[in-house]
Chains A and B, each alone.
Chain A
Amino acid sequence: MTNIAVSSVITGREDRDAGTEKDVHIGTRGLDLYYGEAHVLKSVSFDMYRSSVTAFIGPSGCGKSSFIRCVNRMNDFIAGARVTGELLVDGDDIYAPGTDVIALRRRVGMVFQKPNPFPMSIYDNIAYGPRLFGVTDKDQLDDIVRRSLEWAALWEEVQDKLGSSGTGLSGGQQQRLCIARAIATEPEILLMDEPTSALDPLSTARIEELIRDLKKDFTVVIVTHNMQQAARISDYTAFFLMGELIEYGKTSKIFTAPDEARTGDYITGRFG
């Protein structure tokens, strides 16, 4: 166990130095978000890179969760939500008129704070997304379910009970099921909104290990309140404060020697 953990840390390091160089996957240009009168995000501009893990940190209400909900346009459901500026995924502005939101959400998967498997079988949970897009072939679905569960490191634990309810799993397993469900449609981007805040340390460790693995295939954007977690799993870190992006850069720099005094104050617990 220790050996595996150590080696994955080492390979993680190598990836960090080798890959991810400047292949912009998600970019924002002067992005503003309003909920009615409230100015939630203020002119946010930065780039997130392909196959990297970007962590968003900041005190509650700083806009970090609202930001990731812009990326798959989940904010559309909030009455009075309004976006100006550009949010580019692969160079296309997803707020441009005529954007197919359904297709966008297929490209941008999301994992929520509270594990939220549907009250159906494990199999049906995973097959939900593919079925929406018209996959009906039993063999193909079987294949997708198996692959997604293997990806999410849950296959071994549930392969004998795919027909039992997803809500009967433990909290950590449920969250991995939700990750498997999100990646079953093979999105390019995986948004995670505090995915481990409701889990015990052991389950958290498993999810973190999983995130490190997933970034080979996905661009991961994660919101977390746990700064040690951000330091452990992310390549880049963005610090938000009151709707503004204060500092963005390599995680190793943000957590040891940030440029902005406010970032330093936040990570050492002087406020927030």
Chain B
Amino acid sequence: MMSRFSLQTRRSKDRAATLLLYCAALLLCAGVFFALYFVASRGWQVISWEFITEPPRDGMTAGGIWTPLVGTLQLTFLSMMATIPVGVATGLYFSEYASDNAFTRILRLAIRSLAGVPSVVFGLFGLSLFVVLLGFGSSMLSASLTLACLALPLMITASEQAFMAVPKEYRDASYALGATRWQTICKVVFPSAASTVVTGIILSVGRVAGETAPIIFTGAAFYTPGLARSIFEEVMALPYHIYVLATAGVNIEQTRPIQYGAILVLVVLVLSVSSLGIWMRRRRL
């Protein structure tokens, strides 16, 4: 029925498509590796134990990145503390409880639009809500909460999808055994979705750790002599530190290696968090 000719045509088309997609993937990998090489080759000579563990000195032209590094970790941790419970709970509400009506549809639409809002808008929002209205001032708390808002849409969508992906068969089995809805969520839905939720958290961490715009107005310090000891103090952050060194430093040219070193540390940090997430997901059943 199928002529030999058309079969051959289809085969060669198939081969061409495979080749094309392969090339695209190769190109992407090449791009990533080039960027990594670019950063690493310029930054690696400044990387040392002291670079990581010493605060900046001499008007940030010498010394290390200890203060902004810890500041970023603090900000990320704090914002996750706020995002995870709210995001997961909202995701749970959408997947388990919400019926399909006008209210939930509007809610979903709002969350989707929120994901598309530029990060600087979040910065301004954080400034007026947390810094001014709630009176937290320019502080680690304000900055973290602003970052939390930024990560929230991602977190909600990721966890909702994680819960939705739990097969209906598991729920049926649980209900048929006489479980209540809450028991089913705690014992079956949540554990099965946990690995996917973790992936969502890691994506959020990546997003939050690299953000500059939302924290400029809300709590990132140009320079602090030491680590923040309270959530109401301002805090240095790695991405803002890089931005400062590259645009407003005392001696921009002289501090290039420090800039690249800081970028390298940030990239390695984000990459290792992602790898950890991927490894955890693999390890699960």
Interface residues of chain A, those whose CB is within 8 Å of chain B, are 72, 74, 77, 79, 102-106, 109-110, 112, 114, 116-120, 128-129, 132-133, 165, 167, 178, 181-182, 185
Contact = CB atoms under 8 A, between A and B. Distances in A.
B176 A109 contact: yes
B183 A132 contact: yes
Given A119-B192, A128-B177, 19 more contacts: A72-B176, A74-B172, A74-B175, A77-B175, A79-B99, A105-B177, A109-B176, A112-B169, A114-B169, A119-B285, A120-B191, A120-B285, A128-B174, A128-B187, A132-B178, A132-B179, A132-B183, A132-B187, A167-B285
A116 B175 CA distance: 13
Contacts of B85: none
23 contacts: A79-B99, A102-B180, A104-B178, A110-B172, A112-B172, A112-B173, A116-B167, A116-B170, A118-B173, A118-B174, A119-B170, A119-B191, A119-B285, A120-B285, A128-B174, A128-B177, A128-B187, A132-B177, A132-B178, A132-B183, A132-B187, A182-B176, A182-B177
Given A128-B187, A165-B285, A167-B285, A116 B169 contact: yes
B231 interface: no
Contact of B178 (A79, A117, A133, A178): A133
Q: Is the interface of B mostly helix, strand, loop or mixed?
A: helix
A113 to B, nearest CB: 9
B188 interface: yes
B184 to A, nearest CB: 9
Which of B183, B192, B285 neighbours the largest number of chain A CB atoms within 10 Å of its CB?
A: B285
Contacts of B173: 112, 116-118, 178, 181
B64 to A, nearest CB: 45
A8 B169 CA distance: 33
B104 to A, nearest CB: 14
B178 A102 contact: yes
Contacts of B169: 112, 114, 116
Contacts, number: 63
Interface in B154-188: 167, 169-170, 172-180, 183, 187-188
Contacts of B188: 118
A182 to B, nearest CB: 7
Contacts of B176: 72, 74, 105, 109-110, 112, 182
B285 A105 contact: no
Contacts of B175: 74, 77, 105
Contacts of A118: 170, 173-174, 188, 192
B174 to A, nearest CB: 7
Nearest to B177: A129
A185 B177 contact: yes
A185 B178 contact: yes
A126 to B, nearest CB: 11
Contact of A103 (B99, B177, B178): B178
Contacts of A178: 173
A210 B172 CA distance: 23
A132 B169 CA distance: 18
Q: Which 7 A-B pairs have the closest CB atoms?
A: A116-B169, A105-B178, A110-B176, A106-B178, A129-B177, A116-B173, A102-B178
A101 B87 CA distance: 32
Nearest to A133: B178
A129 B178 contact: yes
A79 B99 CA distance: 10
A253 B39 CA distance: 82
Contacts of A185: 177-178
B110 to A, nearest CB: 25
Nearest to A116: B169
Nearest to B167: A116
Contacts of A133: 178
Nearest to B183: A132
